[in-house]
Amino acid sequence: MSDDKREPSPEDVPAESPAASDAPAVAKPEGAPDTPAVAKPEGSDQVPGWQAILRGLGPRGLALKVGAPVLALLISLLITMGVLRLTGADPVSSMQSMVDYGTTSNSIVDILNRATRYYLSAIAVAIGFRMALFNIGVDGQYRLAALLAASLGGAIALPAPFGQMLVIVAAMVIGGAWASIAGILKVTRGVSEVISTIMLNAIATGIIAYLLNTDRLAANRPGSNNVSTPDIPSSGRVGPLNGFLSSIGIDLPGRLYGLLPVAVVIGIVFWVVINRTRFGFDLKISGMSPTAAQASGVSAKRMVVITMVLSGVVAGLIGMPELLGASYNYSLNFPAGLGFTGITVALLGRNHPVGIALAAILFAFLDQSSDILQEVDVPKEIVGVMQGVVVLTVVIVYELVRRWEIRLQQKSVASELAAGHTVAGEAAQ
């Protein structure tokens, strides 16, 4: 046997095993035949539960991937119906009213518009989650980006499509720059991104309140007490998708955001980059084990900053569908709180673009259908309870199924190793 040692290479580090580089080598008995190495399963028990939840680790089998969320949704439905019964409402009629109202043509348009914003917010959060970074600052990043981009778009009139591009690129740059502060603080001063992004949210809120003033970037809206930035000219706006949909025979009663396809493209790019590129591998391994990343020649600190910047860049897009497709200015009525909704949607969707899309539609449906609950004497706040129950149930069920599958894999590995030792013993005799 050779005593030569070498530095580990990227190929030596399994993509889902953070402790692989620290595992001690086991000597092979002299004369024993070579046995194939058994790969450590994805989502192994070496990964802490909180990291598994953030990174979206879960069942690997297709049946479990489909069955786990279905089971979780059924459980959450039963719990919600029990809560409705405790409030004195009829759970069956309440659910039926929500479904009937949420499936009307007008409601479908509103649901898709809400889901577009939720989806972009969740993708921004999921970028950090894949590296076990908790970017709570998405809310401040998109609101500050929307305010400054709206001011820029209202002050500079450019022909289409340069007007739209100016506003969108400005929002992405501002969102990425604001998010980079948390990344730089983490790698240079060791400040947790959770603490720094929470503080940056508060700072962004203060800056927005300071700038959204008639003495600075805003003006009074005629006939109201509201203030807003100057309207973006028509050349800088994005028209709805209704014209295109009408050409293929789909007529909708409301205006569907024209930037909905951009959200779809962002989801596809996210999946490709994370799962099919070297950068995605470097990002995941840096989050799992900085020492393993360093051994592979990857700077974990640099990846932290890049990840936060990319998360902020996508966060800057969250307000664009509303800004360029509906309001055309930033005012006191601009949608807020989307960053926190994105956290729950990303967790519910397990950081997968398809799962996030389904979760965004579900949350948008619950938000939209909550308006009808008051007509059946049910407080609309019950929807917040329903959303919380859904997220907690899905997270718990996924984690339980993940651990159960790990135990099955460990038993399989133990059986293979036992069979290998038996063969080695027989060969030695």
Distance of CA 275 to the CA centre of its chain: 15
pLDDT of residue 27: 44
- 41 belongs to a structural domain: no
Instruction: Give all strands (DSSP E) within 119-201, no chain letters.
Output: none
Task: Flag whether pLDDT at 115 surpasses 90.
Answer: yes
Domain span including residue 157? 49-403
Q: Which residue has the higher pLDDT, 382 or 39?
A: 382
Euclidean distance between CA atoms 267 and 275, whole angstroms: 12
> Does the residue 303 lie in any domain?
yes
Is residue 348 one of the residues assigned to a domain?
Answer: yes
C-alpha to C-alpha distance for 346 and 351, rounded to whole angstroms: 5
Residue 357 located in a structural domain: yes
- pLDDT at residue 24 greater than cutoff 60: no
| Alpha-carbon 74 to chain mean position | 23
Q: Mean pLDDT across the stretch 261-268? A: 97
DSSP single-letter state for residue 326? I
Asked if residue 417 belongs to a domain, the reply is no
Q: Where are the alpha helices (DSSP H) in 156-259?
A: 162-189, 193-211, 242-247
Pairwise CA distance, residues 282 & 366, whole Å = 37
* pLDDT at site 397: 83
| H, E, C per residue of 258-326 | CCHHHHHHHHHHHHHHHHHCHHHHHHHHHHHCHHHHHHCCCCHHHHHHHHHHHHHHHHCCCCHHHHHHH
Which helix (H) or strand (E) segment holds residue 228: the answer is strand 227-228
Q: pLDDT per residue over 184-205, tens digit each?
A: 999 999 999 999 999 999 999 9
Distance CA 422, CA 416 (A): 10
Q: Is the pLDDT of residue 170 over 50?
A: yes
Asked, for residue 411, whether it belongs to a domain, the answer is no
Whether the model clears a pTM of 0.75, i.e. scores above it, the answer is yes
164: domain CATH number? 1.10.3470
Q: Do you find a cis peptide bond into 161, omega within 30 degrees of 0?
A: yes
Query: Does 15 score more than 50 pLDDT?
Result: no
Is the pLDDT reported for residue 278 higher than 70? yes
Spatial neighbors of 111 by CB under 8 A, at least 6 apart, are 102, 361, 364, 365, 368
What is d(CA 415, CA 412) in angstroms, rounded to the nearest whole number? 5
CA distance 296 to 293: 5
How many domains is the chain partitioned into structurally? 1
